[in-house]
Amino acid sequence: MTFVVKEIWRYPVKSMQGERLEASAITAQGIPYDRGWAVRDEKTQTIRGAKHLPKLLLCAARYLEGTSAGAVPHVEIALPSGECVRSDDPKVHAAISQAIGREVTLWPLLGAEETDHYRIKDEASKDVVAEWRRLFMLEPDEPLPDLDGFGPQLLKELSQYVAPRGTYFDAFPINVLTESSLRWLRQRAPQAHLDVRRFRPNFLLSNDQVEGLVEDGWIGDELRIGAASIRITSRAPRCVMTSHALPDLDRDPTIIRTIIRELRSCFSIYAEVISPGLVRIGDEAVGAAGAHPGAGHMAAE
């Protein structure tokens, strides 16, 4: 089964709107500089994204070539007011704080050895199951998302730290979404505006001949995408972020409620990098030999 790479996305600041790329290398850590920055909630001293600070989604970020903030370049952030502020501007922390209504500071990616930087210090989040249920917007009788692909070591890491240490990823370095899955979801939430930006993939794949949640059938398979190869590890759990407002999209809770009802809270897939390589818009994505249209839908039910 062959798909085509229709869009490539990188998100310079965790939970802010990202950059569309014409081409990108894929390294062992994913797309270079993806989620290279994040904000820390100063009240809780915990790195936070739009799950907790939804107005971050109203900001947009892009990298500034020829600059360095250590492991990543500096960024320019466009605030909801239209003002732009750079990460090397001393006023950046105050500007973001004012824009989102919470005191935060902006941080570049730090090494995995900086364990205290990544540690969850918010006392309200110490009950991990209760926190996850709240963020996934689950009713008391609704199950947690399928997290089997995460494995016990990663789940333990995410119970103590905001991300796998040394990254600002939610879990894995690559997220893949197909247009066929977007069409499937639109049929079940016809009033919702299901813009791809709500789901923050790294790669949007296209094949007009395919229908259904095809990528759900790829779990455990290898996908060759451009000159790189990735292994599909798990379905991607979806939280309240999918329903938050974006710069030109209103808040819409029906989106996450539909994903909970129809898909046990998961939509799109996570992947790890097997072999690095360059990926361009228009490249083929080939693999998942055992998958067929509709397989993921049956699995989800």
Mean pLDDT of 249-273: 96
pLDDT at 300 over 80: no
DSSP assignments along 64-100, one per residue: -TT--SSSS--EEEE-TTS-EEETTSTTHHHHHHHHH
**Distances from the Cα of 100 to the Cα of 54, 80, 94, 117, angstroms:** 8, 9, 10, 22
Mean pLDDT of 169-177: 97
pLDDT band at residue 72 under the 50/70/90 scheme:
very high
The residue among 287 and 58 whose pLDDT is bigger is: 58
* DSSP symbol at 301: -
pLDDT band at residue 290 under the 50/70/90 scheme:
very low
pLDDT at 297 over 70: no
pLDDT band at residue 299 under the 50/70/90 scheme:
very low
3-state SS assignment for residue 125: helix
- State what percent of residues in the chain have pLDDT above 90: 90
pLDDT of res. 298: 31
pLDDT at 157 over 60: yes
pLDDT of res. 293: 33
pLDDT at 180 over 50: yes
pLDDT of res. 146: 87
Mean pLDDT of 162-181: 97
226 CB neighbour count, 10 Å cutoff: 21
Instruction: Give the relative orientation of helices 254-263 and 179-188 as an angle to the nearest 10 degrees.
Output: 100
pLDDT of res. 301: 30
pLDDT of res. 148: 87
The residue among 244 and 295 whose pLDDT is bigger is: 244
- CA–CA distance, 99 with 107 (Å, rounded to integer): 17
pLDDT of res. 287: 86
pLDDT of res. 294: 36
Q: Is 66 left (phi over 0), alpha (psi -120 to 50) or beta?
A: left
- CA–CA distance, 267 with 192 (Å, rounded to integer): 15
3-state SS assignment for residue 159: helix
- CA–CA distance, 20 with 34 (Å, rounded to integer): 12
Strand (E) or helix (H) holding 165:
none
pLDDT at 5 over 70: yes
pLDDT band at residue 276 under the 50/70/90 scheme:
very high
**Distances from the Cα of 221 to the Cα of 91, 161, 282, 298, angstroms:** 46, 28, 22, 18
pLDDT at 181 over 60: yes
pLDDT band at residue 285 under the 50/70/90 scheme:
very high
| Whole-number average pLDDT of the chain | 93
Phi and psi for 165 in degrees, rounded to 5?
Answer: -55, 140
Mean pLDDT of 182-201: 95
pLDDT of res. 96: 98
Mean pLDDT of 134-144: 94
CA angle at 102 for the pair 99 and 107, rounded to the nearest 5°: 85
pTM: 0.93
Mean pLDDT of 233-250: 96
- State what percent of residues in the chain have pLDDT above 70: 95
